Structures are given as structure tokens and as C-alpha cells.
Chains A and B, each alone.
Chain A
Amino acid sequence: MMHDLLGSLSSTEFIRAAITTVWLTTAAQVAGTIGGALLTPLRMARHRALRGFASFYLLIFRGTPELLQLIAWYAVLPLAGVNLNLVEIAIVGLGANEAARMVEITRGALLGVDPGQDDASRAVGLSRIQALRYVILPQAMPAIIAALGNEVNIMFKTTSLVSVIGMTELLRQSQLVAETARSPLGTYLAALLYYLALTTLWGAGQGLLSGHRGQGQRRPSLARSWWHALSGGL
């Protein structure tokens, strides 16, 4: 078993599969975050049809297993005449599901801002868009960024689902090796250690990003400073 574990850990196939997992996580999270940013305004729109569309989207993607969604993308897209390669299907499938999760996160963070802030913004004459940009979003951003960090952690692990459509990421790679290995346990253990290393590294990075705990609002976190710089100092 030790032989299979060590052999797998250091094999170029496993390293390549780990890199696949990292960039697939990144691509799916970016796609999901963009999708969430586009869907959130629809979900919160006053126009009933727009809100209805977003609600229907959430109903489907929050209400069915993600594994089944991936299989469905894989099976249905070609029928609809859309020919995507495995990587593209993986990104679309994971991203579409993540977009639904990001809508709930973003919406929750926006609704979590004190309604008095909206009153004050409008009372000084800001338009709805200006109030969102200069007052509401900056206050919702720390919560969104904190949640985004957790989403990335979850995404690292969720990418293992695309092994069922045959994309060679960490889990699929360990399955391939396990078929011929003396001890399948050793190869699966190697994949497990890779996942653990990725999520642990990410967790450490997240800790740095969110600044020191327990400092409250006094010391702006990196995330806050980053947003501050991005939003033009306001």
C-alpha cells in the first residue's frame, strides 16, 4: 500500500491531475461568480418576469443533485446541437450550479445591510445604482468575500464529480491507477492527501486575506482594503 501511495503522490499523472483540479476549481468558481453577479439583479428585480426567471433557475439548480446536473449537461447538450468538449461541459456544469449558490450568497449579503443605509443614500439624492455602488455593495462585500472563500473550498471537492463524465482530475486519475494497482487504497489515499493539501493551503490563504480575527472594524482587512482601492476610494 505504501508503495502505491508514494508512487502515486510523486507521479507526473497525479501532479497533472492536481493541476487540473486547481484550474477547474478556479474556472468554475469564476464562471459561477460571474453568473451569480448577473443573476442576482434579476432575483432582486421589481419586474415580476425577471424575478420569476431567476427564481426558476434557482429552483432547478438548488433543487437537484449536482452530479445529476453534470450528467444531464453531458447528455443533453449534444442533443441540442451544442458540441462542447469535456472541459467546457465541466466548467458550464459546475459554474451553472455555483451561480445559483452565489445568487443566494450575494442576495443575503445585500439584504443584510441595514435598511437605514438605503434610506440615507436616497435621502442625499443618490440614485438606486449609486446607492448600491457607493453605499450598499461596499458594506455587503466583506460578507460576500468571506463566503466566496468557503465556496472555493467546496468547489475543490465538488470538481471530483466531473470524474463521472470522464474528465481526468484527481479522483478520476486515482480511479485509473487503482484499476491496475496492487493496493487501490494507496492510490485513493494519495488523491485524498492531494485534496487535503489543496484545501489546507487555500484555508491558510483565506486566513491571510481576511486579516486578523477579532479586530472588528478598527483594522481594515485586506479584502476591505482591496475593495476600497477597487471602488475608487469610496
Chain B
Amino acid sequence: MLSVAGCKGMAMGSSEPVVSLVGASKSYHGKEVLKDVSADFKKGSVSVLLGPSGSGKTTILRAICLLTPLDGGYIRMNGTLHGYEETSSGYRALPERKLTKHRRGVGMVFQQFNLFPHLTALDNVTLAPVKVAGQNRDEAESLAKNLLARVGLADKAEAHPAQLSGGQQQRVAIARALALRPAVLLFDEPTSALDPEMVSEVLDVMVELAADGMSMIVVSHEMGFARKVAHDVMFMDEGMIVDRGTPEYMFGSAAHPRVQNFMRRIL
């Protein structure tokens, strides 16, 4: 099922946010990449982040999966603080050793796949369930085989990443990200490192996940995907969310002029 009925954004999923960014700010070497960004990402919905490179999209994803601590602000997941603690002087990031538990709630799919090259596809998926969640190997393997089947790679369980095409590697990476049953799945330009003929096999998997009600935050320039699957499109520029709305609104003539300008250049 390719089309998600309605696509009015607010209609799909509950109105509760799965992830909330509150006053998020971040600087690298004196350059502000996130400027006091606040945003809710709704449970069971697909949010697509658009914008020119350097606009802060990837930083938002890395902040949510707790790879990059915010300088200011905090994050909530399903209503509780995610990777941050409240102190008398405000919110601050938890130290590294306390983050591992929080990271389990988030799955991340990287632009360059980042599969573990020394492990088989199956072991890539089972590593975290066995070592992090303490599942026994049989249990983890049967779950991993289900996940590999779900991304259409049941027959590649014993293959190493080097033996797989880019599209297949990215689908294994999606299976790996799903292994700990995360509350939200993040995609950082998941198709931009792929040969053109492999883009659709990855997008098809993402479309199915969306149809199953997975909460997803996607940084992508796949406009077809954004139009058809997104419930919510955000446009970022210079570390801020400039405009946000349903795909109909964002791809239409009522959107912010900077959004329209960007769309014209990219389409």
C-alpha cells in the first residue's frame, strides 16, 4: 500500500508526540547549527525534514539518537526526559555512560549504512539484542530472521556486508535499527549514497514501515516519498524550522517563500 489515506498530517496517528525537542541549540566551532529549535514529532506519523545542506537537519537526528549532545534545551520521548536531566540550574545532557539505556528507544539509519563489516547480516541485527538487551542468542536470531524477511533479505542472513549491494546493505541497516523495537526510527538521507536503481527498494521498505504505524523522522530529498508518505514536512534553513505543514501545504504556493524557492531549485 503506497498511499497513506488522507495524508492531512494531523489525521494520522495520535496527537501525542513521540519526540519533543524543546529549545534545542547547538554550535560547532562558534557556528550555530541549531538555533533554539522546538518541535513535536507525532507518534505513528512520518515527519520529513527538508532543507539545504548545513541547515541543521542531520544535527537534529544526531541529537535525538543522543550521538550529539545539545548545548542548550532538551528532548522528551513519550513524555519523559530523553538523554537529559533536570538540575537546579536547568536541563543538561546526561554523561555518556547513562545514555545507552536511552538510546535503545531510538533506531538510526545512516546515509553510509555503517553496517559492521566483520559481521554477517544476521549478526549485525543480533549484536544489540544480545549484548545490550541481554536476549539469548536463539531468541535474538529468530527475531532477526523475521526482520531480515521483512526487508526482503531472508536469504542473505549469512552474507557479509561486502557481499551485498548498497540497497541490500541499507535494508540490513533498517533491520538492525528495528531490532530493539525502538519507539522512533530516524533516517539520515538513507538513499543518497545509493545507485539510482537501488533507491526504490529502500523507499519501499520505508513505505511499509510507515503503513505499519512506525514513528519515523526522515531527512531526505526524495520528494516523491515526502509527498506520498509524509504526514508532516518541515523545512529547515540556517538552524531554524522556517515552515512546517502537510505535504499539500508545503509543496503548494502558500508555503514560505524560502520553501518555494528551495523546491523550485530541487525539483
**Least distance between A91 CB and chain B CB atoms (Å):** 34
CB neighbours (8 Å) of A117 from chain B are 114, 116
Q: Pick the interface stretch among A8-16, A127-135, A144-152.
A: A127-135
Residue A88 CB within 8 A of the other chain: no
Q: CB distance B180 to A218 under 8 Å?
A: no
Residue A124 CB within 8 A of the other chain: yes
Complex CA distance for A131 and B101, rounded to whole angstroms: 14
Residue B103 CB within 8 A of the other chain: yes
Q: CB distance B96 to A124 under 8 Å?
A: no
Which of A114, A125, A217 contacts B104 (CB under 8 A)? A125
CB neighbours (8 Å) of A80 from chain B are none
Beyond A120-B114, A120-B116, whether A127 also contacts B100 by CB under 8 A is yes
Which residue on chain A has the smallest CB distance to residue B102?
A: A125
Interface residues of B in 107-145 (CB under 8 A from A): 107-108, 110, 112, 114-119, 123, 127-128, 131-133
CB neighbours (8 Å) of A234 from chain B are 119, 123, 127
**Chain A residues touching B, majority SS:** helix
Residue B65 CB within 8 A of the other chain: yes
Complex CA distance for A123 and B114, rounded to whole angstroms: 11
Residue B156 CB within 8 A of the other chain: no
Which residue on chain B has the smallest CB distance to residue A227?
A: B118
Beyond A117-B114, A119-B114, A120-B115, whether A126 also contacts B162 by CB under 8 A is no
Q: CB distance A126 to B114 under 8 Å?
A: no
Complex CA distance for A231 and B189, rounded to whole angstroms: 33
Complex CA distance for A128 and B123, rounded to whole angstroms: 19
Residue A138 CB within 8 A of the other chain: yes
Q: Assign chain B's interface to a size class.
A: 20 to 34
Complex CA distance for A122 and B132, rounded to whole angstroms: 10
Q: CB distance A126 to B110 under 8 Å?
A: no
Q: Tally inter-chain residue pairs, CB-CB below 8 A.
A: 74
Residue A116 CB within 8 A of the other chain: yes
Q: CB distance B179 to A116 under 8 Å?
A: no
**Least distance between A140 CB and chain B CB atoms (Å):** 10
Q: CB distance A123 to B108 under 8 Å?
A: yes
Interface residues of B in 227-241 (CB under 8 A from A): none
Residue B76 CB within 8 A of the other chain: no
Which of A116, A123, A218, A234 has the most C-beta atoms of chain B within 10 angstroms of its own C-beta? A123
Beyond A116-B114, A117-B116, A234-B119, whether A124 also contacts B67 by CB under 8 A is no
Q: CB distance B132 to A124 under 8 Å?
A: yes
Which of B110, B116, B162 contacts A218 (CB under 8 A)? B162
CB neighbours (8 Å) of B107 from chain A are 123
Which residue on chain B has the smallest CB distance to residue A114?
A: B114
Residue B57 CB within 8 A of the other chain: no
Residue B176 CB within 8 A of the other chain: yes
Which residue on chain B has the smallest CB distance to residue A228?
A: B118
Residue B92 CB within 8 A of the other chain: no
Interface residues of A in 128-175 (CB under 8 A from B): 128, 130, 134-135, 138-139
Interface residues of B in 60-102 (CB under 8 A from A): 65-67, 96-97, 99-101
Which of A114, A122, A130 contacts B67 (CB under 8 A)? A122
Which of B112, B114, B133, B179 has the most C-beta atoms of chain A within 10 angstroms of its own C-beta? B114
Q: CB distance A217 to B117 under 8 Å?
A: yes
CB neighbours (8 Å) of A216 from chain B are 162
CB neighbours (8 Å) of A119 from chain B are 67, 108, 110, 114
Q: CB distance B103 to A122 under 8 Å?
A: yes
**Least distance between A134 CB and chain B CB atoms (Å):** 6
**Least distance between B141 CB and chain A CB atoms (Å):** 12
Q: CB distance A139 to B118 under 8 Å?
A: yes
**Least distance between B118 CB and chain A CB atoms (Å):** 5
- By a beta-carbon cutoff of 8 Å, the part of chain A in contact with chain B is 114, 116-117, 119-128, 130, 134-135, 138-139, 216-218, 224, 228, 234
- By a beta-carbon cutoff of 8 Å, the part of chain B in contact with chain A is 65-67, 96-97, 99-101, 103-104, 106-108, 110, 112, 114-119, 123, 127-128, 131-133, 160, 162-163, 176-177, 179-180
Given A116-B112, A123-B110, A130-B132, 12 additional A-B pairs, CB 8 A: A114-B114, A116-B114, A117-B114, A120-B108, A122-B67, A122-B99, A123-B107, A124-B127, A126-B131, A128-B96, A134-B127, A216-B162
